[in-house]
Structures are given as structure tokens and as C-alpha cells.
Amino acid sequence: MRSIGNTGIRLLLIALFALASTATYAQGEDVTEFEGWEDTEEKPAVKEEAPRPTKTEAAPAPKVEKPAPNSHTGLLPSVHHWYGSLDITGIFQTLFDTTFVLDDDDTTEMVAFTFQRARIILKGHLIDEDLTYFFHGDAGNMASFALDMFLGYRFGDSGLSLRIGRFLPDFSYMMPRNKADLAAIMLPEYLTYAGFAPWRQIGVEASYQANEQLTFKLGVFNGFLFDPGVVNPALINMQMGLVDVLGTTYSNYTDNNKAKDFMLRASYKINPDLSFDLNFWFGMPVNLADQDENDLLVMGGPGLEYNNGKLHLVTEFMFRVISFGQDGADPGSRTSLGLWAHAGYRLNDLVEAVFRIDWVEPDLDAAADNDMRLRITIGPHFWIEEKHFRILVNLFLDLPLEGDPPSGEEVVGFLTQAAVMW
């Protein structure tokens, strides 16, 4: 009887367990498995409701990135090693130039293809990421392949950094800017025609970022090798080594000026897209008339730049005063003024419309005011590939300004530049 009773109890427990399992499946609930076990039983498919249609939203427009002012993205992979790193980038730029010089008697036409730049840049760090190097060469420069070479050091998180060597000082907006990103084909007229640019210098420049908005830069350089009132610095800016100026040979590896030149620049970033800058330069270039006399040079001015990736605005005013030593007599002087404004607007990812105006007065003190120049530039820029391939088309017009005698003929130029940044 005991055996029968135990058997009955066991059958009853099995039946209850089976009934409970059946009820569980009937309610569509999952069976809980022990952690780590695989559920090998097939489970009945659960009918899923079709998703409700949602409101179709337009895809966001791709954000147009504004080009970096002092660099461009390289195509080649970087090399990183325990002892340092190496980035290799470069620029190829060719120019088709058609220029018409118009006057009352005749029209002169000049057509030329120009291989503007074939540059290579090597940069990276050595041993410590705070110790950097930079080399910049141009195969299209027959005077000297080497352009810039310097070392830089960043003092941790203090905001202070130094660079020493040969480079373009951070003077004005366009001088230190990568030539792949000039915002137009040509540099502003006050830098080239009027010779405001100090061009490449040998010296040291310190940068101090006080906070996210405010940055100061102080530079000490060998300075001008020549009198910018006599020889335009743009004519020999590419040379390194021996430079011949009006029959006198100078070496721009060493000091030739009477003292060091000093640069001071303050930049205030009002917001991520808008900045205000103030430039100042003081120098003592060689007096070409009398080596025993001193020339003094002071130049500078304010600038404002706005760039949100779609709208790009730049304006800058510059003055320059040169005081010439004259054998103990009252020194002569030359006052120069320059102003330019640039506007670019990205109509879409491919096309940018550009307008620029330049005004330059190289010698405000001259009795015959025949060197004033006004240039207007317009044109489309085609960003074929956002970071690496652009075609720039610029039409410029040089207007003769009133003077005694008049300041020259009217010049019309049509420029087309193909640029590859790799």
C-alpha cells in the first residue's frame, strides 16, 4: 500500500508540473533558463504588429566646413614613431592669366600660363609632442627651394609657445595664411604693390593664449634687408641666401639692419566665427643712401574677420610711416595707407561667389600723387572637392584714380587658378 501511495503521489506531481507548463505556453510567456544555458527548444512565433508609419523628415543639409587658416588636410597617411612623427602635405597651383592694359592710344594684351606653386611641407614632432618642426619648400621657386624652416615648442598647458627659425611672421591676416587658402587668387595689393609685407624673416616669435578668446604674439626678427620705400619687398621675398639690391649684395641668413625688428599682434575671438586683430611692426631697415644714417619704420592697423563656413568676411586697414635719415638734416618721410575688404558666400557645396576691393596709397607725401591704386575683384570659386581640389576664377579691374599726373592706365585681368592640395 505504501508503494502504491508513493507512486500515486509521484504521478500527481508530474501531472501538476505538466499542467503548469502547458498553461505557461498557452499565455505566450517565455520560459526562464539558467544563466549560461542555451534554449534549444523551438518557441511559437509571436505575431508582431506592423510599425506605424512615421512622418518623413528631410535629411539635414551637409555642413560646409570652413577652411583652416594655416593648414589643410593631407592626403597621405601620417607616420608616428616612438621618437616622433611626420606629416607630408603639398600644394600645386597653376594660373592662366589674361590681362588687358587700356589707354587712349592702344590696348596691350598679355596672355600667360604660370606655374605658381609646387610646394611640399614636412611637419611633425620630435621625441616630445611639445617639440615640433616645420619645413616648407617650393620646386617652382628658382631663386631658392627652401622657404620656411623652424622649430616650435609648447610649454605644456600654460598657453605659451615659441618658434624659432625662418618663417612668415603672423603679421596681417594673409601673410601667415597657407597659400592654399588665400580666399582669392592674389594677395591684397597693400602687401605686394605697396610692399607692406615683411615677408620671410629669421627670428623668434612667442605666442601666449591668455584664454579661449585672447591671444598675444610677440616677434623679434632680423628685419627688412632694404629700404621698402625704394625696393618693393615682394620682388625678392622668395630668395634665401644672397640677395642683390641695387648693386649691393646682402645675406639674409644674418643681420643687415641697424637693429632688430619687433612685431606685436593681439587677437580677440569674439565668438567661434568672429575675431578682431590688431597688428604693429617697428623696424630699422638699412639706409641705402647712407649706411651711417638710420631709417625708422612703423606700420600696423586693425582687422576684422568673420567666417561661419558659408559667409566669409575680412577687412583690414594698414598704415606705414618711414622716416629717412639724411646726413643730420631733418629726415624725410614717406606715409603709406592700405585698405582691403573681402566677401565670399558659399551658394552651395560647389560654388562660392567672391567680391573684393583694394585701395592703396604708397606715398601720401609725394607732390605728384600718381601711384594710388584701386582694384576690384569678383568671381566664382568652384570647390570641386572640399579639401583638396579647387578652381578659382577671378576678374579684376584696376581703376585709374585722379592725380597729378593721373595714376596710370586702366587694367583688366582675367585669372583662372587650378589648385590641388595633397
Q: What is the pTM of this model?
A: 0.77
Q: Identify the sign of the CA torsion 177, 180, 182, 188.
A: positive
In this predicted structure, which of 21-35, 113-127, 168-182 has the lowest mean pLDDT? Answer: 21-35
Residue 8 lies in a domain: no
Residue 24 lies in a domain: no
- Give domain status of residue 14, yes or no: no
Q: How far apart are CA 42 and CA 49, in angstroms?
A: 21
Question: Would strands 261-271 and 146-154 be described as parallel, antiparallel, or unpaired?
Answer: unpaired
What cell does 81 get?
A: 614613431
Cα 22 from Cα 59, distance rounded (Å): 50
Q: What is the per-residue pLDDT for 40?
A: 35
In a domain, 51, yes or no: no
Cα–Cα distance, 277 to 53 (Å, whole number): 54
Q: Which residues pair with 68 in a beta bridge?
A: none
**What does the pLDDT read at residue 65?**
55
- Residue 310 clears pLDDT 50, i.e. is over it: yes
What does the pLDDT look like over 11-26, one tens digit per residue? 444 444 444 444 444 4
What CATH number has the domain bearing residue 354?
Answer: 2.40.160.10
Q: Taking the CA atoms of the chain, what radius of gyration do you get in angstroms?
A: 34
**CA distance linking residue 225 with residue 219, whole number of Å:** 17
Give percent above pLDDT 70 in the chain: 67
Contact between 314 and 357 (Cβ < 8 Å)? no
Does 9 reside within a domain?
no
- Burial environment of residue 4 by CB neighbours within 10 A (0 to 12, 13 to 18, 19 or more): exposed
Summarize pLDDT for 58-76 with one digit per residue, the tens: 444 444 555 555 567 788 8
Query: Residue 4's pLDDT band (boundaries 50, 70, 90)?
Result: very low
Asked whether the CA dihedral 118, 387, 131, 238 is positive or negative, the reply is: positive
| Average pLDDT score over residue span 191-199 | 85
Locate cell 601666449: which residue? 208
32 domain-assigned = no
User: In the chain, what percentage of residues exceed pLDDT 90?
Assistant: 44
Encode pLDDT of 219-268 as tens digits: 999 887 666 666 666 555 556 666 666 666 666 666 656 678 999 999 99
Q: Is the residue at 36 inside a domain? A: no
| Integer Cα distance of 240 and 200 in angstroms | 9
Chain CA centroid to CA 320, Å: 25
Sign of the torsion formed by the C-alpha atoms of 204, 231, 374 and 93: negative
d(CA 44, CA 22): 13
Please state the rounded mean pLDDT for residues 324-349: 83
Nearest to 265 by CA among 216, 223, 303: 216
Task: Retrieve residue 332's grid coordinates.
Answer: 624725410
d(CA 369, CA 230): 16
C-beta of residue 125 within 8 angstroms of C-beta of residue 78: no
pLDDT (0 to 100) of residue 9 = 46
- When mean pLDDT is compared across 40-44, 273-277, 295-299, the lowest value belongs to 40-44
Cβ(266)–Cβ(216) below 8 Å: yes
74-109, pLDDT tens digit by residue? 888 889 888 999 999 999 999 999 998 877 666 677
For the stretch 129-164, pLDDT in tens is 999 999 999 888 766 788 889 999 999 999 999 999
The verdict on residue 4 lying in a domain is no
> What is the span of the domain harbouring residue 143?
85-421
Tell me, what amino acid is at 400? P
Closest CA to 317 of 306, 335, 304: 304
The three cell numbers locating residue 79? 607616420
* Rounded distance between C-alpha atoms, residue 152 and residue 217, angstroms: 14
User: How many domains does the chain divide into?
Assistant: 1
Average pLDDT, the chain: 79
